Amino acid sequence: MYIESAKQVGEFIGQRNLSLIYGGGKVGLMGAVADASIDAGGKVIGIIPDFMMAKEIGHTGLSELVVVESMHERKLQMHELSDAVITLPGGFGTFEELFEILTWIQLGLYQKPVGILNINGYYDFLEKQLDNMVVEGLLKKEHREGLVFSNDLEELFELMHQYKPIEQLFQLKKDET
């Protein structure tokens, strides 16, 4: 189910002549997204740390594969090159990347849409938790509203197109972090 949905995301991106910027691996859901996007004629740029290339998990069939020195550099380049972030079901790495970008939004370092494709209700618990954080006063409503959820890819893209940057109380610059 997840792999099929990942392929649909890749086809969707490729068919619309959008570029996919991702972590550069040939395995897992994102490997499937990349393959489907390439098959649909899309441009796919992977950014991968050198230690992962050494383990031979880098996708060598991409439009472009950038090898960097660290995970931090990988994430920074992915976010600088991207116009939006779509999150699929995943594990620790997915959550780490998602929460880092949400933190960057809070700090004013990232002002682009972030959407979660909630396949099979995978992220229902997260959506409820974020809503609870607002109720408990631990998360600002505008920061919660900056993250959109949908189980439908077309609807998710539409919600993301409606994104308006959050007005920040303060704005950090990347060289201040």
Please state the domain extents for the chain: 1-82, 84-177
Phi, psi torsion values for 165, nearest 5 degrees: -55, 145
Q: Do the two domains 1-82 and 84-177 of this chain adopt the same fold?
A: yes
Q: How far apart are CA 87 and CA 49, in angstroms?
A: 20
> Looking at domain 1-82, does it have CATH number 3.30.365.10?
no
pTM: 0.88
We find that the CATH architecture of domain 84-177 is: 3-Layer(aba) Sandwich (3.40)
Q: How far apart are CA 79 and CA 74, in angstroms?
A: 9
Q: Percent helix, strand, coil in the chain (nearest 5)?
A: 50, 15, 35
| Residue 36 one-letter amino acid | A
Q: In the prediction, which pLDDT does 56 show?
A: 81
SS3 101: helix
Contact 35, 47 (CB under 8 A): no
Q: How far apart are CA 34 and CA 75, in angstroms?
A: 17
Q: What is the overall mean pLDDT for the chain?
A: 93
Q: Report the half-sphere exposure of 65 (CA within 13 A, side-chain side).
A: 17
Q: In the prediction, which pLDDT does 172 show?
A: 57
Q: Using one digit for the tens of pLDDT, what is the confidence trace for 27-51?
A: 999 999 999 999 999 999 999 999 9
Q: Which residues neighbour 129 within 8 Å (Cβ) at sequence distance 6 or greater?
A: none
Q: How far apart are CA 138 and CA 128, in angstroms?
A: 14
* Residue ranges of the chain with per-residue pLDDT less than 70: 168-177
